[in-house]
Amino acid sequence: MSKETVKKEKILIIGSGPIKIGQACEFDYSGTQACKALKDKGYEVILINSNPATIMTDPNVADHVYIEPLSTEYIEAIIKKDKPTKVVPTLGGQTALNLALELHQKGILEKYGVELLGATPEVIEAAEDREKFNAILDKVGAKYAKSYMVRTLKEGEEAIADLDFPVILRPNFTLGGGGGGVAYSLEEYRQKVANALHESPTSEVLVEQSLLGWKEFELEVMRDRLGTFVVICSIENIDPCGVHTGDSITVAPQQSLSDKAYQEMRDEAKKITEEVGVQTGGANIQFAVNPANGDRIVIEMNPRVSRSSALASKATGFPIAKIAAQLAVGATLDEITNDITGETPSCYEPALDYVVTKIPKFAFEKFHGSKDELSTQMKSVGEVMGIGRTFKESFGKAYRSLEVGSIFREDRIFFKDKISYPNSQRMTHIFQSLRAGISVDDLYHWTKITPWFLEQFKEMVDVEKELNSDLEKNYLKAKRFGFSDEDVKILLTKNHEKIKELSSKYKPTFFQVDTCAGEFASETPYLYSTFWSEVESGLKSQDKETVVVIGSGPNRIGQGIEFDYSCVRAVKKLRQMGYRVVMINSNPETVSTDYDTADVLFFEPLDKESILRIFDAVSPLGVLCQLGGQTPISLSKDISEAGYNIIGTPLDMIDLAEDRARFSKLCEKLDCKVPSSSVVVNYDEALEFASKAGYPVICRPSYVIGGRRMEIVEDKESLFKYFETNREVFGEGNPCFIDQFLEGGLEVDVDLIRFKDGCFIGGIVEHIEVAGVHSGDSMGVFPPQRLKKETQAEIERISVLLAENMGVLGLMNIQMAIKNDEIFIIEANPRASRTIPFIAKAMGVSLVDFAVEAMMGLKMPESLKSFRWDSIKTVAVKGVVFPFKKFPETDSILGPEMKSTGESMGRGENFPEALLKAFQGSDFKIPKEGEVFLSLREKDKKELLPVAQKLSELGFSLTGTKGTAEYFVEKGLDCEVVNKVLEGRPHCVDRIRSGKVNLVVNTTAGRQSINASYSIRRSCTDFSVPCLTESEAAKAYVLALTENKSGHVRVEPLTLTL
Amino acid sequence: MKESYLILEDGAIFKGASTHDVESVGEVVFNTSHSGYEEMATDPSYYNQILVTTAVMQGNYGAHQEFWESEKLHIKGFVCLEVQNSSRDKSWQERLKDHNIPLLSEVDTRTLVLHLREQGAVWGGVFNSPDKEAAFKKIKEMKDEHLLKDWTEVVSTSSIHHFDGLSKDAGHVGVLDFGCKKNIIRELIKRFSKVSVFPSKTSKEEILSSGISGLLLSNGPGDPGLVGEPVEVIKNLLGELPVMGICMGHQLLGRALGGDTFKLKYGHRGANHPIKDLDSGFIFMSSQNHGYALKESFKTQGTSVSHLNLNDNTVAGIQLKEKDCFSVQFHPESHPGPHEAEYLFDRFSSMVNKK
């Protein structure tokens, strides 16, 4: 057969869906790599993923991209339509593995003759099912933590006879670990077993040998079909067992095991991988090692690409996912050339001549009420990686990458419990305690962190003092420990001017991540800086002009994968345009930090010093700051002041957008409305403003830390209370921003591209929830469903006017609120936005590519001039994913502070279909029948009457709190009254917790009623009952419910229009 | 810590810090293994060599006699970027000091390694002063004294000694010691009833009269071309009893079979080198430490290449089935490194024990 006549074989890749805690953009990285690898191998690649913010769902990454909910129904529809013969389930996290298992169990794979690659159902079960896995461990002679399922007090006595204290008690089916805990003595154990048995609805408690204080390690391994086995990376957790590995600070390669201990671990990993039955691909195995005697225990195994494998890929330069995909279709490690060296084969274990440190990034401040405590439930929202020659250099650089300020400051106040009980602030308290003279021995006693690491921290603290005694002599040492010049400056009591001089005297060298510790020559420019060399790096380009793209740093709530999407697209476009593109980023989970995304990759902190040092080395034509979200925007002043060219919108206009007063003035000049606002220092001034502007008003401190203390105030009394509660916060120097709040207003996001010769409107996304919910947390629809055409035209006119007058070149996102057909500008950001990938994919227009052309000074292409965003035939809805389940004490009510971690996209022929898919895509349950409990605030009752009527019509039974129920009964509906919590038991929360309720609609306002209804929402979160807290969202949800009843499952791949 | 220097004979100089001001000269080589500093330093194959570790943090897990691969430290110097230097534990530092081995840390080892990779193996020394001329002189003296000598004789045992094996029903094997690592002996002890270790220059008659039924040719330092007599002894022993060679033993077996050895540009030293067993197709990670290799040409009929180094396709193992002998360039005894090549000891054991 000639090549032309061979029909391409089709492979389906399952993605991991919206970004959530524990499953984030590392799977975009692995999925994107895999798609590329399989396309290169000649396969026709089909992809399903509900997450529009990813690179992998870019229409040109796979051959057919489906942004559809990740459920077997939709996957079956795709299989039916496109007829793939193989499915790769190992690259989309646990979501994809579970789906694969479900497809198998439902007989779908068999029905269509589809083969699972990489992991069979047996392998997935062997690794997931604790009993099966333990049997495998027994077989290979590996140890595991002993555990017993206890159902009675007597069984409890039997179990403890065979275990050593401390033991962990895990009651079955209680959420957030309620009723569980650690027992350190028999007495404590007996009492806790009794309590735990009581708390567990099934009266089952898992009693497990505690590994608290054991050292924790991870091996990232790969295997091919011939059985060649390699360890790609060994990772050591600084935090000992007890903290989820995703929340631990980790180091690669492992530092504290002898070769003997390490090789034994390696042997065991090999045996387990083989025995579990992993045929090809990557896996990760976690171990605990007793520091007292070296005993080793297997914690768990994942027979798939994982979060750690993304980290391992970035730490070593070994592209695990790419190679896993190649292995899955039959290649062997020895056949695949090592990309980085370009000559040696991929059957090798990377050798590192540097150290990497990963530090997780947390967002506890966003979740009021949740305790900042780390345990076995992962809570971090992102991570950074620092590469340095030594541990200290890598740790220092990683810490700088967190963007949380310096750890090196003259602060000696520490709390012992913040050291002995793991929490997100532990590292700063450890540093502070070392400064206060606490010994490594004490710290070891409190934390069980391997002393070797504690000593490294101590050395870092010691150099702080030395800097003040002799700067000249110790400057280089501090740099080698990862200190930035800013860190040095903070520490110095005098001599600040000297730093500049020393800074220009000592320059970093850029070394390569080459997978082989220098043994073989390598051309791949994957670089990191170090002060451990004096060699000049010679990174100036010989032939092409250099453009730098600054990434977005660690994922956090409000700045996530969508900005990586924009960066990656821009890098590709710039490379196409013939530039040599330099990427700088510190986030190991991303596609942008793949070594083959840009021409040169610098894995570096995104701080002033790091980026300027890179610019000095590469002499760029200019720097793109518009794509990586707020991080590069914040750096633009430093970049400009250092004499480098910011490509696109000039610095002054970036400043204008950030400066509320200047911005308001401009709006005024352009005859555009902005909500009236003021800056006040006390209640009296606030009252004066509010009386003029009218209630409600929105209040927040001028220094907003993640939107904390931001509140919508409904009346005079609440305003007084707000100032009473926050008395400590406000005063001269710390004023309160107070804005008119456009209650009931409709909010929109507008994205546009301004070329030097005109503007292109990317589109208008209409928020589903009304004003008051953060734009990142509200669902959105494209094109708008409620706005009048004239209003849309006016929105476009204002947007263009603003862009022209701000001298924007490239992207701008504008948020507006519309009330009674009046348009108010809320804010304008001259940069890429969260909605860019969503709109781009909904329309099939590569907005970022065009934006890059605009920034680089090209004219608007003809194709854009004739294109209208509202010409699209489909409707797209953005769904949102929240992490409330992970934060046991937190209220799920939405407000002006963003809390979501990820988004989904639903595409449909009409609004209800798109809505349904958006809800499904973000794991929102859609019940087909059952009870709906409603508790509504006064003004929503009438508003939501049609919703209640529709629900009743659809066959749902209604219950409600007294006021709500009475209103509905009066309107002729059946609605049973249920007690509020304060009215005595059984109350509505009992009802929810007992599983009787299938849907909750709970709208509320004002601090007091919000607090009173907290337990309703919390019980919904705990028991996975869908809970709607906003009237427009409730209306939309009922549309989706109705659509769901129809039973249609339609799938449609993305198309590229422009 | 005081400033010291690594000065290479080609004129390159690398600054570092040293805790004890011992000076010494040797061939400068690098190893890419992440762990196992103590095993490497006590491996007799590193005789007359200054060891540069590419893994940056050294001494992290202290010093433990149980990791020793011989009775002494054989390296002429230890060069790294950072060494454990805390009040709690600086045992690795002290161990080096106790044995008068220069320790040079804070060296830009990556630049040094790239230099060694480009320039090829060079001699050099750890010196307290940056005076190049004085250094060159000392380097030359040392080279003149050692370069054209058989190093295996120096590190070999001076008298025959015996170990009881754990496998009572198995045979008695000998080791011709060219600088044997302890773990080779341990692996043999597991599989045989008795292990006898012979000095490298033992005669054929003496070896055969000891009653052994298999002979292992051990690893060892230096140029296999300078080893001399043992090659003749090996040649004459072939066919008399099964023979297994490791590293130097492999090179000597190759020479005994009419092959030739050559010096690699900068050698293979590490724990991540892929090897393919050409008989079974099995690919595995190996522990390596050699500066010389066998050319792929043997005068003895029937000799074939059994293992290949997949990084550069150099010969990593040979066999001559009719004479019951085989050898590998890498280290099945690991220490440091992965254990995947242990099966070769089993192969040797079945060759010996079937007889």
User: Taking CA atoms, what residue in A is nearest to B271?
Assistant: A349
B210 interfacial to chain A (CB closer than 8 Å): no
* Rounded CA separation A882/A778 (Å): 11
User: Taking CA atoms, what residue in A is nearest to B312?
Assistant: A344
Measured between beta carbons, the chain B residues lying within 8 angstroms of A348 are: 272-274, 285, 310-311
DSSP line for B243-277: EEEETHHHHHHHHHTT--EEEEEEEEEEEEEEEEE
In the predicted model, what is the mean pLDDT of residues B340-346? Answer: 97
- Whole-number pLDDT of residue A178: 61
Measured between beta carbons, the chain B residues lying within 8 angstroms of A532 are: 81, 106, 108
The pLDDT confidence band at residue A111, using thresholds 50, 70 and 90, is: very high
Nearest to B337 by CA among B44, B120, B102, B31: B31
Mean per-residue pLDDT over chain A, rounded: 93
Is residue A948 helix, strand or coil?
A: helix
B120 interfacial to chain A (CB closer than 8 Å): no
- Whole-number pLDDT of residue A177: 52
**CB-CB: which of B84, B281, B312 is closest to A226?**
B281
* Rounded CA separation B229/A902 (Å): 73
- Whole-number pLDDT of residue A846: 95
Nearest to A887 by CA among A334, A166, A369, A440: A369
- Is residue A703 pLDDT above 80, yes or no? no
Q: Which residues contact A433 (CB under 8 A, 6 or more apart)?
A: A414, A416, A419, A443
Q: Is the pTM of this model over 0.90?
A: yes
In the block, residue with structure tokens 């909605």:
A835
Q: Identify the residue with better confidence: B279 or A410.
A: B279
pLDDT in tens, A781-830: 999 999 999 999 999 999 999 999 999 999 999 999 999 999 999 999 99
Same fold, A147-209 and A927-1025: no
The pLDDT confidence band at residue A3, using thresholds 50, 70 and 90, is: very low
* Rounded CA separation B64/B263 (Å): 33
The full set of domains in chain B, from first to last, is: 2-147 (3.50.30.20), 152-353 (3.40.50.880)
Q: Which CATH number fits domain A746-869: 3.40.640.10, 3.30.470.20, 3.30.450.40, 3.30.930.20?
A: 3.30.470.20
For A127-141+212-350, which CATH superfamily applies?
ATP-grasp fold, B domain (3.30.470.20)
Nearest to A69 by CA among A108, A37, A38, A95: A95
- CB–CB contact B82 A390 (8 Å): yes
Which CATH architecture is the domain A927-1025 placed in?
3-Layer(aba) Sandwich (3.40)
- Whole-number pLDDT of residue B68: 97
> Is the distance from CB of A596 to CB of A606 less than 8 angstroms?
no
In the predicted model, what is the mean pLDDT of residues A360-368? Answer: 91
Q: Which residues contact A82 (CB under 8 A, 6 or more apart)?
A: A10, A12, A46, A64
User: Taking CA atoms, what residue in A is nearest to B115?
Assistant: A518
- Is residue B120 pLDDT above 80, yes or no? yes
The pLDDT confidence band at residue A129, using thresholds 50, 70 and 90, is: confident
- Is residue A138 pLDDT above 90, yes or no? yes
> Is the distance from CB of B39 to CB of B33 less than 8 angstroms?
no
> Is the distance from CB of A282 to CB of A309 less than 8 angstroms?
yes
3-state SS record for A321-387: HHHHHHHHCCCCHHHCECCCCCCCECCCCCECCCEEEEEEECCHHHCCCCCCCCCCCCCCCEEEEEE
The pLDDT confidence band at residue A203, using thresholds 50, 70 and 90, is: confident
- Whole-number pLDDT of residue A6: 62
- Whole-number pLDDT of residue A706: 45
- Whole-number pLDDT of residue A705: 46
Other CB atoms within a 10 A radius of the CB of residue A869 amount to 22
Report residue A810 as tokens.
């490239």
What does CATH list as the number for A537-647?
3.40.50.20
Residue B38 is a catalytic residue: no
Burial of A830 (0-12, 13-18, 19+ CB in 10 A): buried
Is residue A10 helix, strand or coil?
A: strand
What does CATH list as the number for A3-117?
3.40.50.20
- Whole-number pLDDT of residue A346: 96
> Is the distance from CB of A348 to CB of A337 less than 8 angstroms?
no
Portion of chain A with pLDDT greater than 90, in percent: 78
- Is residue B149 pLDDT above 80, yes or no? yes
- Is residue A210 pLDDT above 90, yes or no? no
> Is the distance from CB of A593 to CB of A583 less than 8 angstroms?
yes
Q: Minimal Cα–Cα distance from A259 to chain B, Å?
A: 5
> Is the distance from CB of A352 to CB of A334 less than 8 angstroms?
no
In the block, residue with structure tokens 């008298």:
B159
* Rounded CA separation A835/A52 (Å): 10
- Whole-number pLDDT of residue A2: 43
What is the predicted ipTM? 0.97
- Whole-number pLDDT of residue A230: 98
Which position among B9, B247, B250, B290 bears the catalytic label? B247
Q: Which residues contact B257 (CB under 8 A, 6 or more apart)?
A: B235, B238, B298, B299, B300, B303, B318, B320
Taking the CA of residue B292 as centre, how many other CA atoms within 13 Å lie in the half-sphere pointing to its CB? Answer: 25
pLDDT in tens, A505-524: 999 999 999 999 999 999 88
- Whole-number pLDDT of residue A174: 60
Residue B331 is a catalytic residue: yes
Look up residue A603 and give its DSSP letter. Answer: E
Is residue A745 helix, strand or coil?
A: coil
Q: Which CATH number fits domain A358-505: 1.10.3720.10, 1.10.760.10, 1.10.10.60, 1.10.1030.10?
A: 1.10.1030.10
Q: Which residues contact B15 (CB under 8 A, 6 or more apart)?
A: B3, B4, B5, B106, B107, B108, B130
Residue B325 is a catalytic residue: no
In the predicted model, what is the mean pLDDT of residues A933-945? Answer: 95
- Is residue A734 pLDDT above 90, yes or no? no
The secondary structure of chain A in percent helix, strand, coil, rounded to multiples of 5, reads: 40, 20, 40
Mean per-residue pLDDT over chain B, rounded: 96
Query: Does domain A147-209 fall into CATH 3.30.1490.20?
Result: yes
Portion of chain B with pLDDT greater than 90, in percent: 94
* Rounded CA separation B31/B267 (Å): 9
Chain B from 35 to 74: CB within 8 A of any A CB: 35-36, 39, 54-57, 60-61, 64, 66-67
- CB–CB contact B54 A351 (8 Å): yes
- CB–CB contact B57 A391 (8 Å): yes
* Rounded CA separation A567/A574 (Å): 10
- Whole-number pLDDT of residue A206: 85
In the predicted model, what is the mean pLDDT of residues A472-477? Answer: 95
- Whole-number pLDDT of residue B355: 60
Buried b / exposed e along A746-779 (16+ C-beta atoms within 10 A): bbbbbbbbbbeeebbbbbbbbbbbbbbbbbbbbb
- Whole-number pLDDT of residue A1: 39
In the predicted model, what is the mean pLDDT of residues A376-398? Answer: 95
Q: Identify the residue with better confidence: B76 or B21.
A: B76
pLDDT in tens, A60-77: 899 999 999 999 999 999
What does CATH list as the number for A676-740?
3.30.1490.20
Portion of chain A with pLDDT greater than 70, in percent: 98
The pLDDT confidence band at residue A10, using thresholds 50, 70 and 90, is: very high
- Whole-number pLDDT of residue A704: 55
Domain boundaries, chain A: 3-117, 127-141+212-350, 147-209, 358-505, 537-647, 676-740, 746-869, 927-1025
- Is residue A235 pLDDT above 70, yes or no? yes
- CB–CB contact A533 B84 (8 Å): no
The pLDDT confidence band at residue A173, using thresholds 50, 70 and 90, is: low
Portion of chain B with pLDDT greater than 70, in percent: 100
Please give the backbone phi and psi of residue A815, each rounded to the nearest 5 degrees, phi first. Answer: -105, 130
In this structure, are strands B122-127 and B82-83 parallel, antiparallel, or unpaired? unpaired
User: Taking CA atoms, what residue in A is nearest to B87?
Assistant: A455
Nearest to A1037 by CA among A880, A873, A818: A880
Measured between beta carbons, the chain A residues lying within 8 angstroms of B81 are: 389-390, 532
pLDDT in tens, A292-331: 999 999 998 988 888 899 999 999 999 999 999 999 999 9
Report residue A626 as tokens.
């518009």
